[in-house]
Amino acid sequence: MRFYFKILLVFILLLLFLSSFFKYYHKKEKSITTISGIISEGDTLLNLLIENNIPQEQSYEIVNALKKILNMKRCNIGDKWEIIFAGENFLKFTYQNGPFDYYTVSYNPETNTYISEKHRLETEIQLLGAKGKINSSLYESMVSLGISPEIIIQFAEIFSSKIDFFTDCQKGDEFSLLWNSYIHNGELVKDIRVIAANYKNNKDSYFGFYFEIPNGEGRYYDKKGNSVESAFLKAPLNYRRISSYFSYRRFHPILKIYRPHLGIDYAAPRGTPVSTIGNGKVIFAGWKGGFGKMVQIKHPNGFISYYGHLSKIAKGIKIGKRVNKGQVIGYVGATGLATGPHLDFRVKNNNKFINFLKLKFPPSYPLPKKYMPEFEKEKLEMLKKLMELEENKITTFEEENVSTKKNNKKIPII
């Protein structure tokens, strides 16, 4: 009797073991795995799918389904993708084109069909902020706080006519700023626009407040409602140093004679983009003797700017072309009589060359008086938030249990 009982017990234990084994094996076989990445140079979606163990025929089906809802010409380097498998079987492909739109292709094994769908992230606009001090450059100091390059560029452009961040930026200078961003499920999707900014050095404190008039046109104004922008940028390029200043008697390094140098030489690497200092019309673009490749732009109020020794002139820049302030019109070079790559930059006003470094820039777009009451109201609100930010009265992202994809330390304004 005992013998049969032992056999029965062994048989039961064997059944339990086999049941657990098959459950584990089935679970393992059907486990969900995810592979993700970004589009690199030379990638195609078809090859990407095949390289990630999806059979060629099935990869064709996925791509064809995606083509029904996505213009494949809009697939760009940096776009995100994700593949989900159930065991070894393809389950779903997701392609994110831009910060908001994403597309999915799912496989239905019961009907043997591929279903493609377009989606859009549901986002909310949130006000973020940051403050800090200059330790090295403006860019490096802001990046260390988790501020995106897009917002850093906006901040620099706001004060570009007031501060040259390549020469005027000093260690210990302070900055604070507020900007709007799109947020999805507590994660940063895309930064939108700086709406208030402050930069302090040992001499001055500069403010910029974004304000839109009823027609939708928005600009930055100071505390008094004067435009922070000016007619001209403070410099036409990002340069390393000024190698030669405006002078009526300067020794020419090639000609070996003293003669006037009625401009500024900005030393910069070959290929550095050169921008027009203001709105205007191109009146010359080509070869100009010792100046090499040159562009001349006529601006309002009798100003003409000159850009010489260019390595090449930007595409589309020709006589009669209208250009906007900050638009790239050429690239640093050493054409003509030049010992090395630099920009020979000159400005003429009313037919007389002037020292651009001593020119006082008037505001370009003053705010009409009828909008001042609304501007004052918005300005005071932003000033209050900037003060709260600077006085550490606003909680950090982590304290609000909000995080970005890069875990950046930014500050939400509630």
Same structural domain, 199 and 269? no
What pLDDT is attached to residue 380?
Answer: 94
- Best CA proximity match to 127, nearest among 176, 207, 183, 197: 183
Q: By residue range, what is the domain housing residue 204? A: 124-230+365-412
DSSP string, 153-185: HHHHHHTTTT--TTTT--TT-EEEEEEEEEEET
What are the two backbone dihedrals, phi and then psi, of residue 371, each rounded to the nearest 5 degrees?
Answer: -95, -5
What pLDDT is attached to residue 191?
Answer: 87
Q: Which token pair is 336?
A: 């003509």
- Best CA proximity match to 410, nearest among 151, 134, 135: 151
Same structural domain, 26 and 38? no
Same structural domain, 335 and 245? yes
- Tell me if residue 50 falls in helix, strand or coil: helix
Same structural domain, 263 and 309? yes
What pLDDT is attached to residue 254?
Answer: 53
pTM of full prediction above 0.85: no
- Best CA proximity match to 54, nearest among 85, 77, 27, 75: 85
Q: What does DSSP say about strands 352-354 and 411-412: parallel, antiparallel, or unpaired? A: unpaired
Q: Which residues of 88-116 are buried (b: 16+ CB within 10 A; e: fewer)?
A: eebebbbbbbeeeebbbbbbeeeeeebeb
State how far the alpha carbon of 273 is from the alpha carbons of 95, 140, 162, in Å.
Answer: 34, 21, 21
Same structural domain, 128 and 116? no
Structural domains in the chain (count):
4
Q: How far apart are CA 97 and CA 81, in angstroms?
A: 9
Same structural domain, 260 and 221? no
Same structural domain, 248 and 351? yes
Same structural domain, 195 and 135? yes
pLDDT averaged per 10 residues in sequence order, the chain, 414 residues: 58 59 49 88 86 90 90 78 89 85 88 89 86 87 86 85 78 92 82 92 90 83 87 75 62 52 85 90 95 94 93 94 90 89 92 86 75 94 88 47 39 47
Same structural domain, 59 and 156? no
Same structural domain, 130 and 161? yes
Tell me, yes or no, whether 235 lies in a domain. no
Same structural domain, 168 and 314? no
Tell me the HSE value of 278 on the side-chain side, using a 13 A CA sphere: 24
What pLDDT is attached to residue 28?
Answer: 46
Beta strand extents in 18-162 (DSSP E only): 32-38, 80-86, 89-97, 101-108, 113-120, 124-133
For residue 301, the domain's CATH number is: 2.70.70.10
When computed from its CA atoms, the radius of gyration of the chain, rounded to whole angstroms, is: 31
